[in-house]
Structures are given as C-alpha cells and as structure tokens.
Structure 1
Amino acid sequence: MTHFSALRTLKSMLAASLAATALLASASAIAQVTPGVLRVSAIPDEAPTELQRKFKPLGDYLAKATGLKVEFTPVTDYPAAVEGLVNKRLDLVWFGGFTFVQANVRSKGKVTPLVQRQEDTAFRSVFVTTKADITKLDDLKGKTLSFGSESSTSGHLMPRSYMLAAKIDPDADLKRVAYSGAHDATVAAVAGGKVDAGALNISVWEKLVAEKKVDPAAVRVFYTTPGYFDYNWTVHADMPAPMKKKLTDAFLALDKSTPEGKEILELQKASKFVPTKPENYSAIEAAARSAKLLK
C-alpha cells in the first residue's frame, strides 16, 4: 500500500469513527428526552432498595396524575443527582437542602423547588453514640465521628455548622472524621464500634428505632440540632409550567384520610406536602459557604 492510499484509508476510518460517535451521541440525546416519560431520582441517603420501596406507590400516583410513564433511576452518589437534573437527564429529583443549593448554584438558578414535607420546614439532625462519656457536643473533642455523605444537609452540613457554632472544628478538634455515605450506614458504624459517634437525620433515626433495626438503649441520641429547612422535590426550571403545576398539585393533594395518600405519606415520613421556594434555603447556602463546602 502506498503512502497516499494508506492516508486515504486512515481518513476513511477516522470519518467512519466520527460518524459513529455522532450517531451514538444523537441516540443518547434522544434517550435523554424520551417523550411521555418522567425521569425521577433521589439523593442516595439510604440503601437503593429502600429508596425504590419508598418511591413505588408515589411513582404510580404521579403516573396517574400526569399521564406520563414514571421511571425511578437510582444514582450512585449525591453529585450525580445534582448533575442529572442540571443537565436535564432527570426531570424530578428528591434533594436535601444542600444538594438543592448545589444544583441551584451549579445551574445558575435554573432549578425550581416545588414542594417539601411539612416536616422539612423545621428539620433536625441527631448525634448518636454508644459511649458513656459522650453527653454533649464538647465531649466529641479527641473522639472519632462519622458524618453521612459529604453533600448531605442533615448528615453533614448542618451537623458540622452546629459543631462550628459550638466552637468545635471537626477537622482540628476530633481524632478522626469519617463519611459513611448514608444515614443508616452512619448508625451501623456507631453501633459496630467503628466510630465513637455519628450524625444523621432525625427521620431515618426514628424509622430505624421504630423498625427495631437499632437498639436505642445501646445507641443513644446525645444532641439534637435546632430546626432548619431541608428536603424538597425539585424540577428543572425549563419544565413546562403546566407540568410543574400538575406535579405540585398532585403532591399537595396527598391526604392521609385516603388509603393511597396514607400509604404514600407514611412511606415518605410526611404528614403532608407544602409549597416551597428557593429563598427557604438561603440559610443553608450561607452555612455551606461559611464552612467552605460550596464550590
């Protein structure tokens, strides 16, 4: 083969490769905007199987309310939930307050929080331990502590901010800080003696106690934070207004007096859903910037 024929062959191969790449990219783009499908996800603050179990009745309900096929897609970590909505690979995401702030900043204000549980207007975190000599935040000095995910509002950001307010710097004053990745994993780390204490959201703690998955006589709460705004259901700001309204109205219509509403609200650990707005999360954004956790 001559030099020129080899060059022509290489050019043909390159052109074919570029065409195939473009075709794949086009197919991917089409897949990301499948008509008639509502793509839903949630920050992985609990085990994937638990998130799926909790969402199934809500997904069926939203399908009836919107006329769309509802698909729940688990994500590997908190940043994936943020990027999924910002880049429109997801349509509706269950965020914590901090992940909402991250998505809002990352998208330059192009995400819209629709609703939150009534409980999220004054959400709280708990610190738990098995150690008799830990009875207050100050006792954590020189000890080991596990947060949840680094991007968790109730499992990291707010517990950290209340520690800082109490003049305790987790990175300087504690022997070691760990990140379990999820609230139930934090409790398991404390119960298993891997760390002296842990911080998690109060809702998961109460659920684990109620389901007898943790013994509150062995693992006990020694500090509960003040309330703050937390979780919400958020969509991309480009979602058509009629669909935003359908979703909002569906959440607000959930009522414990009906069998369907009772099942969904109990699984979501909610008394009811209420409207929310970006301004509700300004304190969380300020706490994140103060703790240098917002990039």
Structure 2
Amino acid sequence: MKKIKAMLAQLVLLVVSGVVAPSLSVSAQEELTIVWYPNESGADLESSREQISTLISEATGKTVKNLTTTDYNIAIEAIASGQGNLAFMGGQGYVQARELNEKVEPLVIVSGKSGTLEDAVYYSWLNVLEANAEEYKNDKGEYVIDNIKGKKMSFVSESSTSGFVIPTSGMIEYFTEDKLTQDDLLEGGEGKFFSEVMFGGSHQGSLYNVISGMADVAAACDTCVINYVEPATIKWE
C-alpha cells in the first residue's frame, strides 16, 4: 500500500456526537435497528457492529438489527423517518436529521480516555501521498496548506463533519483573500479554487482517492483512517 501523510493533522477539536435516538418511541418495539454510516458499514467492522448490537440487546431485552449503508444521506433519512432507531453520528449528521424530524435527540456521548468530555475529541485531517508531501512544505520545512489551491481535492460527503464541514470552514478562514464560501469548494475546474473536487462517500473512500491517484489531497477523520496514515506534527487552527 502506498504510504499516506496526514498533513496539518489538527484542524480543530470536535466533540464526538454519540448515539442518536429515533423519531418513534421504542418502548413498545420488539426489535431495534442501528443505522451505520458508510465508514462503519464495511466487512472489516462486522464484528464490532455485532458486539455493540449484542450489548444493546442485553441492556434493552430487545432484538437488535444492524442496518449498513453506502451513503450518509441514507443513514440520516433512516433515522429521521424512524426506519432506524439508533445511529452513531457526527455533528453535521445530527443537525440534518434533527432538521428533518425534531424528535431526533442525542442519547449518549463518547468520553475521552480521562472518562470526561474534556478530551472527547477527534480530528479532521488532510491526507497526501508521502511521496508528494514535500510539495506542501514552506521554505522552513513546515507543512502548510497554501499549495492545496489548484489541487484535486477529495472530501467525504457534504453531510460529514470532519470530512467536509470542518476542513472547508478552515480553508475559508485561512484563504481570506480568496473570499471563499463552501459552495466555492464543492466544485472544481477552471477559475475554481480546486482543479477538481470529488467525494469518497466514506472516510476510507476519500483516502482511497488519494491512494489511487485520483485526488491529490483527501479530507478524513483521524479515527477512521489512523491505521493507514503517518500523522505530521503540525497544527492548523
């Protein structure tokens, strides 16, 4: 596998949104459905899904079914419509589900290693091939994001907090002279900030776009791709 460099590792700290409750009452239901984002829907995470559903089944006394998805919007719609009862979502997904159905509520939140919310964080990374990492250094040998302009960019999904909302917000704040909006970063081409923009559909999919050479830079959440990258020691805040 080609080596990946996670450039500008710390974009911003994010509180992890936990499991989200459904729009329909579950007290009378014999079966509960957990909806999984594409990032957690792969075969390599099947045992983890089964362990979580088993724990929830033991705690509730109900049969628990796992519903995997291939698209963020499918998961969000499933929760908002009541087709799913629980989901592990980021902030953006929760907001969108809540806008569709005001009965969608946060249920739990994941704590950090300390057992508190103080370190209940994850990170949004920009990833490049290690072979190309020198292109993103300044004359001091420090990683900077100046040279991402004009590159082929891969995001995860417009509904992804760490795979779209946070990185684009950071870019808008950093490249102030370009007076960017999120709409400006959705499409690439002549006269655009990026030469091309694509969406991986999942954090792993976004990273694959860099590995395959289709993209130069990929946004992804650290917890989803940590097994595939070598983080750079740098902050972008």
Aligned pair partner of 2:108 in 107, 115, 125? 115
Letter in 2 for 1:128: N
User: Separation in 2 of the partners of 1:151 and 1:82?
Assistant: 9
Q: 1:45 to 1:65 in 2, by over 3 A?
A: same
SS in 2 for 1:133: helix
CA deviations on 1:236-288 (whole Å, 9 max, x unpaired) are xxxxxxxxxxxxxxxxxxxxxxxxxxxxxxxxxxxxxxxxxxxxxxxxxxxxx
Higher alpha-carbon deviation: 116-125 or 198-207 = 116-125
Q: 1:97 to 1:128 in 2, by over 3 A?
A: same
Aligned length: 185
CA deviations on 1:4-44 (whole Å, 9 max, x unpaired) are xxxxxxxxxxxxxxxxxxxxxxxxxxxx9983111111221
SS in 2 for 1:193: coil
Question: After the TM superposition, which residues 1-295 of structure 1 pair with which residues of structure 2 at under 5 Å, given as runs?
Answer: 35-107=29-101, 109-119=102-112, 121-130=120-129, 131=132, 132-134=134-136, 135-167=143-175, 169=180, 170=185, 171=187, 172-209=192-229, 216=230, 221=232
CA deviations on 1:29-64 (whole Å, 9 max, x unpaired) are xxx998311111122124532343321111111111
CA deviations on 1:146-172 (whole Å, 9 max, x unpaired) are 111221111111111111111264343
Letter in 2 for 1:114: L
Q: Is the 8 A contact 1:127 1:221 kept in 2?
A: no
Q: 1:156 to 1:72 in 2, by over 3 A?
A: same
Q: Is the 8 A contact 1:75 1:81 kept in 2?
A: yes
CA deviations on 1:129-161 (whole Å, 9 max, x unpaired) are 122212322110111111112211111111111
User: Separation in 1 of the partners of 2:55 and 2:195?
Assistant: 47
Deviation at 1:87, TM superposition (A): 1.2
Letter in 2 for 1:146: S
Q: Name segments (4+ residues, structure 1) moved above 4 Å.
A: 220-226
Q: Is the 8 A contact 2:155 2:163 kept in 1?
A: yes
Q: 1:181 to 1:223 in 2, by over 3 A?
A: farther
User: Separation in 2 of the partners of 1:50 and 1:224?
Assistant: 31
* Greater length-normalized contact order (CA 8 Å, ≥ 6 residues apart): 2
- Structure 2 gaps of 5+ residues are 1-25, 113-118, 137-142
User: Separation in 2 of the partners of 1:78 and 1:33?
Assistant: 27
Deviation at 1:127, TM superposition (A): 0.6
Q: Is the 8 A contact 2:31 2:64 kept in 1?
A: yes
Please, what TM-score do these two structures have when normalized by structure 1? 0.57
- Structure of greater Rg: 1
2:23 match: none
CA deviations on 1:57-85 (whole Å, 9 max, x unpaired) are 11111111110011101123111111111
Q: 1:51 to 1:99 in 2, by over 3 A?
A: farther
Q: 1:164 to 1:97 in 2, by over 3 A?
A: same
Q: Percent of counterpart pairs with the same letter?
A: 27
Q: 1:73 to 1:47 in 2, by over 3 A?
A: closer
Deviation at 1:118, TM superposition (A): 2.1
Deviation at 1:116, TM superposition (A): 2.0
